[in-house]
A and B are shown apart, each in its own frame.
Chain A
Amino acid sequence: MKPFNVKSKAPITVCLLLAVMTLTGCWDIRDINHRTLPVVLGISTVEDDQYKVFLKIPEPVEGSLEVKIVSGTGETISHAVDVISRNMETSVDLLHVKVIMIERKTAEKGMKDIIAGFMRSREVSPKALVTICDQNLDEFFSILSESKDLRGTNMFDYFEKNAGWNPEIALTRIWEVYRSIHSYTRDVAIPLIVTGETTTYEQVGSAVIKNGKMVEQISNDETLLFNAFNNEGTHGQIEVLNHASVMIIGNSMDHQTDLTDKQPILQSRINLKVVVLETRGKTSSDMIKKELSHLLTDRFSSMLAKLQESEADILGLGQLYRTKIDRKELKNWRSIYYPNLKSDIQFHIDVQNEGYLRTT
């Protein structure tokens, strides 16, 4: 064996030592027990354009998770978080925030800066869900902190697709809101939440966001159509008709678009597969089909009329006209074309099965 030659190995040894120093990847490291990882971040504005930030923090207490709610005020959101962090014994780390909750009046004033701030700083994942609170946030969080069945992640579970989500809840993430701020042809809907009577939360509808501002509100039923248009899946939705209730188990759609003299004409056909659940009195499947398609057509046209008036294209109909409109003109989609859009929507309904019992 060759004797170890210090001189020839020196550069490598130095390199490796330097690597060891930096390879640990730890800089100003804070251990996990010195961090606070909030799951929900609530934002409201108070006077003087200051932000009031609420954090909902799960805390493990004797084998179970309890929840702590803290709040702070600051010029910016990060400042407010800093204020909270300063007053707490651990440091606040927004890395695991799952839900961003914005107070309604803040959303109506515009949340462009808030969303852009989240996108820029990367502290909060762009995948975090956005909701709007149709209630004073102080009130919302004080009711929440008194609630008994409040667990660490239950607000996230409410939206989680494999937990409490259902097709009447819009699932909108930070990056989608950010996209809608700059996009020419696409807006978003954000769920509106209040505290419930017997359940922890209650959804009262969805907020329509245009350029980062809440401009309109749609109902839960209409949110279903929004989800159907965004292929979010309407599986499991129960529709109550006069004579029956059905469950939608599948949806698909195709559109025909036409543009004459700056007037977009849209012909859509939505195919629904349904299962009959309950009936009342004498019903036939033709009757169910007719009633359902009537109900949905009415609902769709009234929603579209409302949206056209507010010039917010949450269904992304502008996307369908991208081939037909020049890019320079596309910028005016919301203001010139969209309000004139004429739509003819047809629901084609297949009754997949009627359960164990026959309907005549």
Chain B
Amino acid sequence: MADKSLHVMLMYVISHLGLIFFMYPGNVISSTEQGHWLPVLVGVVIHFIFITIYMKGLSYFPKKDIIRIYAGIGKGTAIFFIAPVFLYFSMILLITLRAYAEIITIVFLSNTPLWAIMLLLISISTYIAAKGVETIFRTGLLLSLLFLPIIIFIFFTSFQNVDWRYMVPLDADLGFIIKRTYLESFFAFSGGFLFLGFVQPYFSYDRKYVLWAAAFLIPFFLFSVYIPVLTFGQATSATTFLPYVVAVDAININWLMFDRVTMFFLLSLISFIMLYLALVSWKAIRILSHYLPSIKPVKLLLALSAAVYISCFFIPDWKDVEKLFWWNTFLRFYILIAVPFSIFFFGRRMKRKGKDETI
């Protein structure tokens, strides 16, 4: 079991970056009128609490992924936890594929039909997923070498048009907590972290590095929301669908040979999303093949991808994507809370009993 902390760290960073910059700023901006730092902070703190608990729980079960942990405890637990996780993964695949295809058509490929974009996204990510976890992580390293510099460069240049006086008023209230858009914004926090429990039998990682990666993401969470607010003001950025993308569109750099940096920014993020989709499909297949060991994983994967691709056609327009997104929010919170706590709880119980469970 090789130590792959760097790969895990990079994977953690890029799968979150792909999720942060699109819908998250819009959701947070429309959840409150002022003091956006509080919703971001609350999200980040919850994120930290749950990944710490999750990793602590996982550390009680070295060399085991969460499927085997749950399966080892009993049939009831497996149904209670693994079935929702699988459902959640399928929902993520469906929603992410559909939503990002739509975003691509909105932002640049306005003439291209949705089915072609979705086909591109799903076929590439299925191919990567079919190659297994090693390939996913190696691709992650490659993509971060290629695109992280671009993302970071554009992130810094997007400060170009900010007017810091839009930061005030700073005082915030907690009214956003129950807002639908705020609850939806948690997809950026809960989408990526589950993979930590799936890679364990393949390689190990240092928990410290994952926390560093999560800390590295904090400025991105904060400024993805604040850059549109500081550039346009809250009232204006609340009228936009993808506030951060619009703010990036307003960047004007004379010496850069490219007129629209948005294109590079988006393409980099889309590549991260493809990898994210690959990772999620791989996790879903791990669950499926644990229960259907007789069928080859590749076949399961193709079946799953085809099912997801076909289901995408049953979502007629953006309103329905949003509806699905909202329904998925309940499942998301269940996953976000139940999985880390249960793993932690089972781990503690096992340790107290002091016996090594056999599977």
Chain A residues at the B interface, C-beta cutoff of 8 Å? 11-12, 15-16, 18-19, 22-23, 25, 27-28, 96, 119, 122, 125-127, 161-162, 173, 175, 178-179, 181-186, 316, 319-320, 322-323, 326-327
What is the total of A-B residue contacts with beta carbons within 8 Å? 93
Q: In the complex, which of the residues A11, A126, A161 contacts B250, with contact meaning CB atoms closer than 8 Å?
A: A126
Q: What are the 8 tightest A-B residue pairs by CB atom distance, in nearest-first order?
A: A22-B120, A27-B112, A182-B236, A319-B165, A15-B127, A175-B250, A322-B168, A183-B233
Chain B residues at the A interface, C-beta cutoff of 8 Å? 33-34, 106-113, 116-117, 119-120, 123-124, 126-127, 130, 163, 165-166, 168-169, 231-233, 235-236, 239-240, 246, 249-252, 254, 259-260, 298, 302
Closest to B33 in A: A327
User: Which chain A positions have C-beta within 8 A of B110?
Assistant: 122
Q: In the complex, which of the residues B113, B124, B246, B254 contacts A19, with contact meaning CB atoms closer than 8 Å?
A: B124
Cα of A178 to Cα of B302 in the assembled complex, Å? 46
User: Which chain A positions have C-beta within 8 A of B259?
Assistant: 96, 125
**A183 and B235: CB pair below 8 A?**
yes
**A184 and B233: CB pair below 8 A?**
yes
**A127 and B130: CB pair below 8 A?**
no
Closest Cβ of chain A: how far from B194's Cβ, in Å? Answer: 25
Given A11-B302, A23-B120, A322-B165, answer yes or no on A178-B252 (Cβ-Cβ < 8 Å).
no
**A179 and B123: CB pair below 8 A?**
no
Cα of A119 to Cα of B119 in the assembled complex, Å? 29
- Seed contacts A322-B168, A322-B169; 5 additional CB < 8 Å A-B pairs: A18-B123, A22-B123, A122-B249, A178-B236, A323-B169
Cα of A178 to Cα of B240 in the assembled complex, Å? 11
**B239 and A182: CB pair below 8 A?**
yes
**B33 and A175: CB pair below 8 A?**
no
Closest Cβ of chain B: how far from A326's Cβ, in Å? Answer: 7
User: Which chain A positions have C-beta within 8 A of B127?
Assistant: 12, 15-16, 19
User: Which chain A positions have C-beta within 8 A of B252?
Assistant: 127, 173
Closest to B113 in A: A27
Closest Cβ of chain A: how far from B155's Cβ, in Å? Answer: 18
List 25 interface pairs A-B (beta carbons < 8 Å), by A numbering.
Answer: A11-B130, A11-B298, A15-B123, A15-B126, A22-B117, A22-B120, A22-B123, A122-B108, A122-B110, A125-B249, A127-B251, A162-B254, A175-B232, A175-B249, A179-B236, A183-B235, A183-B236, A184-B233, A184-B235, A185-B233, A319-B163, A319-B165, A322-B169, A323-B169, A326-B169
Closest to B164 in A: A319
Closest to A8 in B: B298
Given A27-B111, A326-B169, A327-B169, answer yes or no on A127-B249 (Cβ-Cβ < 8 Å).
yes
User: Which chain A positions have C-beta within 8 A of B119?
Assistant: 18, 22
Closest Cβ of chain A: how far from B115's Cβ, in Å? Answer: 10
Given A119-B246, A322-B165, answer yes or no on A179-B124 (Cβ-Cβ < 8 Å).
no
User: Which chain A positions have C-beta within 8 A of B231?
Assistant: 179
User: Which chain A positions have C-beta within 8 A of B107?
Assistant: 122
Cα of A88 to Cα of B127 in the assembled complex, Å? 44
Cα of A345 to Cα of B251 in the assembled complex, Å? 32
**A22 and B116: CB pair below 8 A?**
yes
User: Which chain B positions have C-beta within 8 A of A12?
Assistant: 127, 130
Cα of A15 to Cα of B131 in the assembled complex, Å? 12
Cα of A241 to Cα of B228 in the assembled complex, Å? 43
Closest Cβ of chain B: how far from A259's Cβ, in Å? Answer: 14
Closest Cβ of chain A: how far from B202's Cβ, in Å? Answer: 21
User: Which chain B positions have C-beta within 8 A of A183?
Assistant: 232-233, 235-236
User: Which chain B positions have C-beta within 8 A of A28?
Assistant: 111-112
**A327 and B260: CB pair below 8 A?**
no
Cα of A184 to Cα of B236 in the assembled complex, Å? 9
Cα of A161 to Cα of B34 in the assembled complex, Å? 35
Closest Cβ of chain A: how far from B326's Cβ, in Å? Answer: 24
Which of B116, B233, B239 has the most chain A CB atoms closer than 10 A to its own CB?
B233
Q: In the complex, which of the residues A19, A22, A182, A320 contacts B233, with contact meaning CB atoms closer than 8 Å?
A: A182
Closest to B165 in A: A319
**A161 and B254: CB pair below 8 A?**
yes
Cα of A316 to Cα of B119 in the assembled complex, Å? 48
Closest to A162 in B: B254
Cα of A281 to Cα of B112 in the assembled complex, Å? 71
Cα of A3 to Cα of B337 in the assembled complex, Å? 50
Closest Cβ of chain B: how far from A223's Cβ, in Å? Answer: 19
User: Which chain B positions have C-beta within 8 A of A122?
Assistant: 106-108, 110, 249
Cα of A307 to Cα of B169 in the assembled complex, Å? 25
Given A11-B298, A127-B252, answer yes or no on A179-B233 (Cβ-Cβ < 8 Å).
yes
Closest to A160 in B: B254
Closest to A183 in B: B233
Cα of A319 to Cα of B240 in the assembled complex, Å? 21
User: Which chain A positions have C-beta within 8 A of B117?
Assistant: 22
User: Which chain B positions have C-beta within 8 A of A316?
Assistant: 163
Closest to B235 in A: A182
